[in-house]
Structure 1
Amino acid sequence: MQIKIVHGKAVTRHIADLARLRTEVFRAFPYLYEGSEDYEATYLATYAQSPESLFVLALDGERIVGASTGVPMTDAAVVFQAPFVKAGIDPAKVFYFGESVLLSGYRGRGLGVRFFEEREAYARRLGRFDWCAFCAVERPRDHPLRPADYVPLDEFWAKRGYEHRGDLRTMLAWRDIGEEDEAEKPMSFWLKPAR
């Protein structure tokens, strides 16, 4: 396994591979995302436009098997910034972790921890952030597609020092597997001091 760090436009050559990876990983619960690689490529291109974006890529040989992203919150979509503005937290003081995706066969090897370590270290190096933050979808415990052996990542995140902030919430729309139309899903944020 190799970890590769990429910033800004340098990720452009990896976008197609990252779009495939995101589409595959996010099909699983709790996201149940019926996505398209074209949409994902467009989404990732917005990160490439930020010169201070971060992509932490996990490679098995030449194959990207995992990735984690980060960007100054002011370069993220307004839907992510709005809960912070409403709560009186300056988005310019927040480094936003976009996502971590890892193929199931590569889990349990410490890569999830490494993704957090790399993003946190980068936010500290930039030197102007008070918070590291990410958001996660909220699904009901009795969701019909929840696998019997599903383990939420809350404990993993808390162990990394993140605090769930249920007061910081947003809504994102996507089409779930097997559904005809997009519907909004509630997302709530987790925060950790950046320093």
Structure 2
Amino acid sequence: MQIKVIHGEAVTPYIADLAQLRTTVFRAFPYLYEGSEDYEASYLATYAQSPESLFVLALDGETIVGASTGVPMTDASDVFKVPFVAAGIDPEKVFYFGESVLLSTYRGRGLGVRFFEEREAYARRLGRFDWCAFCAVERPSDHPLRPADYAPLDEFWGKRGYAHRADLRTMLAWQDIGETDETEKPMSFWLKPVL
């Protein structure tokens, strides 16, 4: 296994592979994402436009098996910024973690922890952020597609020092597996002070 850390436009050669990885991982609960690689490539290109974006890639040989992203909140979409502005938190003081995706066969090897460590260290090096933040989809506990063995990541995030801020909420639209149209899903944020 190799970890590669890159920024901004340096991700361009990896976008197609990352788009495929994202559509694969996000099909699983709780995201249930019926996504397209074209859309994902377009989304990733917006991160590439931020010179201070961060991509932490996990490679097995030449194959990307996991990735984690981050970007200054000021470079993120307004849908992520608005809840912070409404709560009186300056988006310029927040480093936003876009997502972490990892193929299921590579879980349990410490890569999730490494993704957090790399993003937090980068936010500290940039030197102007008070908070690291990410958001997670909220699904009802009785969702019909929830696997019987599903384990939420709340405990893992809590061990990393993140606190759930149920007051910081947004809505994102995507097409679920089995849906014909996009529908909005509730998302809430988790925050950790940059120390």
Q: TM-score, normalised by structure 1?
A: 1.00
Shift in Å at residue 16 of structure 1?
A: 0.2
Matched, 1:81 2:99: no
Map of 1:6-155 to 2, 5 A cutoff?
Answer: 6-155=6-155
1:30-62 Cα shifts (integer Å, max 9, x gaps): 000000000000000000000000000000000
Shift in Å at residue 5 of structure 1?
A: 0.3
Which SS does the other structure have where 2:98 is aligned?
A: strand
| 2:85 partner amino acid | V
1:3-30 Cα shifts (integer Å, max 9, x gaps): 0001000000000000000000000000
| 1:84 partner amino acid | F
Give the unaligned 5+ runs of structure 1.
none
Give the unaligned 5+ runs of structure 2.
none
The CA distance in 2 between the partners of 1:125 and 1:181, in whole Å, is 41
The CA distance in 2 between the partners of 1:82 and 1:43, in whole Å, is 19
How many residue pairs are counted as aligned between the two chains? 195
Shift in Å at residue 90 of structure 1?
A: 0.2
Which SS does the other structure have where 2:88 is aligned?
A: coil
RMSD after superposition: 0.2
Matched, 1:4 2:33: no
The CA distance in 2 between the partners of 1:146 and 1:37, in whole Å, is 24
The CA distance in 2 between the partners of 1:78 and 1:42, in whole Å, is 17
Which SS does the other structure have where 1:123 is aligned?
A: helix
1:110-168 Cα shifts (integer Å, max 9, x gaps): 00000000000000000000000000000000000000000000000000000000000
| 1:37 partner amino acid | E
| 1:18 partner amino acid | L
Matched, 1:169 2:179: no
1:80-137 Cα shifts (integer Å, max 9, x gaps): 0000000000000000000000000000000000000000000000000000000000
Q: TM-score, normalised by structure 2?
A: 1.00
The CA distance in 2 between the partners of 1:92 and 1:24, in whole Å, is 32
